[in-house]
Structure 1
């Protein structure tokens, strides 16, 4: 069964750069868009949700972790390309791990806690390294 076409307007989404003991949590997408790439947990904001409520919900649904949100680290816009896809405005937040161990839902097939400077040749989503660095700055202040 083919997936439905994306809505004809931008969608608001959130993501969390979650740090624990100096390492960041990256999850690998098991589905399109960005299948096979490591990124941050997150997803769409539902109507009537605040950004922080949506972020906590998405992180809980995707990883079962509880987090402490430190602040906005940046944003990224994803526009439809040659392969189609939706138009997203992703608000990325710096966060600290509070409790739990990662339990992934079906949107992801792997996770790693990594020191940001050791990402090396890991295949990641566009703009991820900039968001991670911005999140580190937020957490230092």
Structure 2
């Protein structure tokens, strides 16, 4: 779905090369517990699977951003169920520029059915070509380890989180 950009790429670089960007990522599950992923159509990470998500705009309430992004990216109305954790992208690359984004991962419910397309699928297991940070986070969500999903160690593996949570 097309969306209007709040500012140009030059303005984006000017702002977000200096401060982290706040985003929301939507965790939408079907009745079988599978998670909705979209295939990226633009840089960065063209062709990779990702959670629907985007930037919280200036003076936009987080819940409004979630609802806007659900409409823009998926074309559905959502109900916010709750915050699960966060996903941090410390070295997000766009062209030759590095950025730092922080995404609030939010579980959302929907009333309508979402049709599957080649660019929009529900997954029970995280596909290999998923954006790395989201993939690690989703593996914890899909395995039922919700409380471990917000691990803040960017080098963490599932085994590390299991050891930490058992201690």
Point out where structure 1 has 5 or more consecutive residues left out of the alignment: none
More strand by share: 1
Structure whose CA Rg is larger: 2
2:53 to 42, 49, 53: 42
TM-score, length of structure 1 as denominator length: 0.76
- In structure 2, stretches of 5+ residues that fail to align are 1-8, 148-167
Q: Which residue of 2 aligns with 1:10?
A: 20
Contact 2:87 2:134 in 1 (8 A): no
Q: CA deviation at 1:19?
A: 0.6
Alpha-carbon RMSD: 2.7
Distance 1:88 1:52 in 2: 18
TM-superposed deviation, 1:92: 0.8
SS at match of 2:91: coil
1:52 aligns with 2:63: yes
1:1-141 correspondence to structure 2 within 5 Å: 3-4=9-10, 5-7=13-15, 8-22=18-32, 23-80=34-91, 83-99=96-112, 101=114, 110-115=119-124, 118-119=125-126, 121-132=127-138, 133-134=140-141, 137=146
Which one has a larger percent helix, Structure 1 or Structure 2?
2
Give the match's secondary structure for 2:87: strand
